[in-house]
């Protein structure tokens, strides 16, 4: 049993935190402070902080500045064997170098691919058919440290970000326990990352949600499933923003040459077909601006959508 300090904020780290609390001695859990959220700007805990407050037997710390000397001293005083970081923030060397066995991070990709804040989104968006989790030692770079263990898994052809997120969070917890066991028993064999294979996974922006109909339909579809729930996928019709909740590739209109990208080919029954750069997207579920999500059949009952219209 090892003495560990856990650092994380997102829901992704909860399976691993639960396992650590039952199998090791968790001296403290470090998470981000409460932040105002929503229209009412209500102060909200991170999922990790909420989990601890609901009954986890661990000391919760929510510093504004993890690099503050007083906080570094507090972390040092725990005398932890190991720090574990999952979906937290970039740590200064003064923090990640404290424990004698170093600091481990669980990342939701097969490093060195998809380094950065949004590895799950970016892998789906790129049409990858395989991903996984990597447990590595933190160093001065961003997701550049030596690899302790990796686990692979296929990405389903229609799998969305939330679905893959849940699977990888559980896989990450399993991989972390294996990595800790190897480190504890002196059997870990760190592998240096191949910088030549590195790719980036930058944070998503709101602007990326707007559908680019000039892309091939496969790329549009991948973005739809990658951008759930944020930033979403949307277009404008008659000045109104419409979110695409779901859509798949269809056979298209079959005309040669095809109409301009963004042209509504079919708008009746249970779907709307829209021409893409190549192929067409069949939209089956939408969310009009200011309304609840609905199937296209319900949407068409209350909205005039004219075939041949070119979407904004």
Better-scored residue on pLDDT, 250 or 255: 250
Cβ neighbour number for residue 143 with a 10 Å cutoff: 24
Q: Tell me which fold the domain 3-197 belongs to.
A: Rossmann fold (3.40.50)
Element (H, E) at 95: helix 93-96
State yes or no: pLDDT of 178 exceeds 70: yes
| Domain assignments of the chain as residue spans, ordered by start | 3-197, 206-302
How large a percentage of the chain has pLDDT more than 90?
89
Mean pLDDT computed over every residue of the chain: 95
Can you state the angle between helices 161-184 and 14-23, rounded to 10 degrees? 30
Task: Say whether domain 206-302 belongs to CATH 3.40.1190.10.
Answer: no
Residue 101's φ and ψ, nearest 5 degrees, are -100, 10
Better-scored residue on pLDDT, 125 or 36: 125
pLDDT in tens, 140-174: 999 999 999 999 999 999 999 999 999 999 999 99
């Amino acid at each position: 049993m090892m003495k560990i300090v856990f650092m994380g904020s997102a829901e992704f780290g909860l399976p691993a935190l639960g396992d650590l609390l039952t199998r090791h001695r968790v001296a403290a859990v470090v998470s981000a402070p409460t932040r105002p959220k929503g229209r009412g700007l209500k102060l909200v805990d991170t999922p990790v902080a909420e989990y601890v407050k609901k009954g986890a037997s661990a000391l919760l710390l929510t510093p504004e500045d993890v690099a503050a000397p007083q906080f570094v001293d507090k972390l040092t005083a725990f005398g932890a064997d190991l720090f574990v970081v999952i979906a937290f923030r970039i740590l200064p060397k003064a923090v990640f170098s404290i424990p004698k066995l170093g600091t481990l991070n669980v990342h939701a990709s097969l490093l060195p691919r998809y380094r950065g804040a949004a590895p799950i989104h970016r892998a789906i968006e790129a049409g990858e058919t395989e991903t996984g989790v990597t447990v590595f030692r933190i160093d001065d770079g961003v997701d550049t440290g030596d690899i302790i263990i990796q686990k692979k898994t296929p990405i389903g052809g229609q799998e969305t970000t939330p679905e893959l997120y849940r699977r990888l969070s559980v896989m990450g917890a399993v991989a972390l326990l294996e990595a800790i066991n190897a480190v504890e028993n002196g059997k870990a064999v760190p592998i240096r990352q191949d910088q030549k294979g590195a790719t980036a996974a930058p944070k998503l922006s709101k602007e990326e949600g707007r559908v680019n109909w000039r892309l091939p339909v496969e790329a549009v579809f991948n973005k739809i499933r990658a951008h759930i729930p944020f930033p979403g996928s949307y277009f404008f019709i008659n000045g109104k923003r419409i979110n695409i909740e779901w859509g798949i590739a269809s056979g298209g209109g079959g005309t040669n040459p095809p109409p301009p990208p963004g042209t509504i080919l079919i708008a009746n029954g249970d779907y709307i077909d829209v021409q893409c750069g190549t192929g067409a997207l069949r939209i089956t579920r939408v969310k009009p601006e200011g309304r609840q999500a609905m199937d296209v059949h319900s949407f068409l009952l209350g909205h005039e959508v004219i075939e041949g219209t070119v979407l904004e």
